Structure 1
Amino acid sequence: MVWGCFAGGIKGPLIFCDENKEGNERINSNTYIRILNSHLYPFQRTVRELTGRAANFQQDNAPIHTTKITRLKKNKISRKAFPRTVDELKVALSDEWENLDYSIFEEVVSSMPRRINGVLEAKGGPTHY
């Protein structure tokens, strides 16, 4: 499991959740809080320093994102060999995160008013996003 963040065109870190758990603990809310404390809050401070504006934290609680915009079709993975171990996967994910086109972030941000309207129209129920 990985966690990442962005604010406008500023990309935050890509964090591997298993590296932020304690001992034999499962990845749970304690792990998540640890990640937010260690990585999100410093990123928000950096965004404020760079832009003079606060970065808002938003999450949608969806376990899987299946919308067209989040499939990242524009960023094709061009690896000769697919990862076979967890460490190789982490390297591959880090590389892809580093090379992610900023236009993906712009598309996500520009889709938010439409997504919010969909939630409002569904009165908080499921939407097609």
Structure 2
Amino acid sequence: MLILRIAFWIAVVAVLLPSAPSMSSSDGTAQAASGAPAGDAEVFDASAAVDMAMNTGSDVLSFCERNDAVCDTVAAGGSHVANQLIYYTGEAVSWAAQALIDARSAETGAPGVSPAAPVTPAEVTADVPAPIPSQGA
């Protein structure tokens, strides 16, 4: 996928760059920057390129209408990958949280608190500073 993105942005930059200037050769005829005679150079038609891109886009968008079985298989595979990603991301976050709890308990010398242990309101508010009283109204 990365290669397709890179190719897309290179194509966008190449289309947006100005055309190469014509150069005069020693015999006075105009030549393109590549050295080929300018009269024989093929002219780039931007509207034709846009039309081809739109046709290609509509062809890609109608792929699933023509190939139902392929799209169903890809959807099932994508669902499996998404479920795996969600599960293992949760496992990684849980592992990181437990490692942080263990590291903090090692620094303070207090026993570690397991994530399943109930937390009392006194433990939650123990580190909260007292509110600053407002001055005169």
Check whether TM > 0.5: no
Q: Relative CO higher for 1 or 2, CA cutoff 8 Å, sep ≥ 6?
A: 1
**More strand by proportion, 1 or 2?**
1
Relative to the length of structure 1, the TM-score reads 0.24
- TM (norm. structure 2) is 0.23
Q: Which has the larger radius of gyration?
A: 2
